[in-house]
Amino acid sequence: MYHASYLHLVDVKLLKQAAIFQDLDDGELARVAEVCREQKFTVGQYVFKEGEPGNRLFLISDGEVRISRTIPGSGEEALAVLKPGSCFGEMSIFDRSERSTDAIANTGCTLITISRSDFELLLDFNRDIAYKVLWSVVRLLSARLRVTNDNLRSFLAMSMF
């Protein structure tokens, strides 16, 4: 499967690239680093599959991850290819939902991961971190909702002709 190990030294610059951690200072990022693990995946290996419970977030340290969905009768539809510094799977940490896509190692890759339980403990015991992270999530969700609304508006406009 995958190899997981505690990270003693996570590059805080890498953590800072993740939208949900961008407002944290170096000391706060160091606290986040304490709960990080490292996982390595080989090309083509699933990081997670659609429908699985989402219990951790991921940050790409090295390599690429393909986010895709399986379309019945058509096969795989790639939605995005994520590069180092990209964070994914973070929404399931907050809403405890199932994975809505597949995540597949597009190349051999090294991922930094934080489990939901570790993340919740981190936020419970570090109110300043919780405040900053939650505001970052609000901004991230608002931006995603705006894109979705724009896409829906464009789709509806095209479908009327």
- The arrangement of secondary structure in 3-159, i.e. its CATH architecture, is Sandwich (2.60)
- Residue 157: the pLDDT is 79
Distance, in Å, from the CA atom of 116 to the CA atom of 137, rounded to the nearest integer, reads 15
List the beta strands (DSSP E) in the chain: 3-6, 37-41, 46-48, 56-62, 65-71, 75-82, 87-88, 102-105, 109-115
Domain definitions of the chain by residue range: 3-159
User: Residues 82-133: pLDDT tens digits?
Assistant: 999 999 998 888 888 889 899 999 999 999 999 999 999 999 999 999 999 9
- Residue 148: the pLDDT is 82
Predicted TM-score (pTM) of the model is 0.83
